[in-house]
Structure 1
Amino acid sequence: MSDAMFIPANPEPPLLPLPYPLPLTRAGLSGFPSPAQDYEGRTLDLNERLVKRPSSTFFMTVTGDSMVALGIAEGDLLVVDSAIEPRPGHILVATVEGELVVKRYELIGNRPYLTSANPAYRPIPAADLECQAWGVVRAVVHEYAV
């Protein structure tokens, strides 16, 4: 995977509020309420929701099947923050011996490993190889074919 696969977040993303309905429960009302009432005054901006630090956030598209059991599939879009300090349990984008990977950071017997969510791939001993974390995955965007 080359650097061309990385898309940096806009340092000042434009506001794009989209309708975000509030589920309402109505009891004891007579008549039929307007469906538009659910959309009144509530919006959601995905930049605001997913990009906490624009200057350290980038996007990348996933290739491969090593993280499928964690809901990360080929073609998914990752929101990655390079300002987060990696901790065990985090899903990371890292380089291992010059190859870009997406793996979970785990301690096994007090040693750091990068692990897959697919049993076809063995854990990578991070201490024994040239390994560098690029960022922590904050979100995964999965699109369905329609």
Structure 2
Amino acid sequence: MKNKSNLTFFSIDASENKQTIFIDTGISAGFPSPADDFKENRISLDKELIKNPEATFFARVSGESMTGAGLENNDLLVIDRSLEPSHNKIAICFLDGEFTVKRLKVKNNTVWLQPENPNYKPIKVTEDNNFVIWGIVTNVIKKV
């Protein structure tokens, strides 16, 4: 199986500051109570999901190497390039001419790109690789 995923990148359209209705009482996954009133507020998904607009991008996942981490084909990732990469973070990496999303594993000064699907093998990063950690995944947006 292929170890790398192709990603489609999107930048933020900061010209619009749209807000969506937010129901602040929590949504019951059990039986609804007809007596519950709810308070309607406004929420900005930009403010909720984006901490540093100048360094934030979106990318769509293509592939299945990270399904165990909840990242599935066509999910939309929120990526912050200003965050420091560290052990166990999910990162967007540029490896030998291709972008991939993997979990960073750092052991004894060696970096491994760990897929979260047993059908894919970890990738050991060596000095021979053209390798850059491009950004850290902060959120995933799914369609249901």
Superposed pair shares fold, TM > 0.5:
yes
CA change 1:12–1:127 in 2 (3 A) is farther
1:90 to 1:13, Cα distance in 2 relative to 1, 3 A: farther
Task: Give 4+ residue runs of structure 1 displaced > 6 Å after superposition.
Answer: none
Identity of aligned residues (%): 29
> Shift of residue 11 of structure 1?
3.5
Aligned pairs (5 A) from 1:54-69: 54-69=53-68
Q: Paired residue for 1:29?
A: none
Structure with greater helix share of residues: 1
TM-score norm. by structure 2 comes to 0.82
Gaps of 5+ in 2: 1-5, 28-33
CA contact (8 A) 1:20 1:44 kept: no
| Map of 1:122 onto structure 2 | 121
Which amino acid letter does the alignment assign opposite residue 137 of structure 2? V
1:88 positional shift: 0.7
The Cα offsets for residues 8-41 of structure 1, whole Å up to 9 and x where unpaired, read as: 11245413132223149xxxxxxx74x5x3124x
State the shift of 1:119 in Å: 1.5
Normalising by the residue count of structure 1, what TM-score does the alignment of the two structures yield? 0.80
Structure 1 residues 82-93: aligned runs within 5 Å: 82-93=81-92
| Secondary structure of 2:62's aligned partner | coil
CA–CA separation in structure 1 for the residues paired with 2:64 and 2:83: 25
- More strand, by proportion: 2
Partner residue, 1:27 = none
Shift of 1:69: 0.5
Match of 2:38 in 1: 38
RMSD between aligned residues: 2.0
Larger RCO, structure (CA 8 Å, separation 6 or more): 2
Count of aligned positions: 132
Q: Which amino acid aligns with 1:137?
A: V
Q: Give secondary structure in 2 for the equivalent of 1:72.
A: coil
* In 2: Cα distance, 1:39 partner to 1:135 partner: 37
- 1:8 equivalent among 4, 11, 30: 11
Match of 1:21 in 2: 24
Contact 1:10–1:54 (CA under 8 A) maintained in structure 2: no
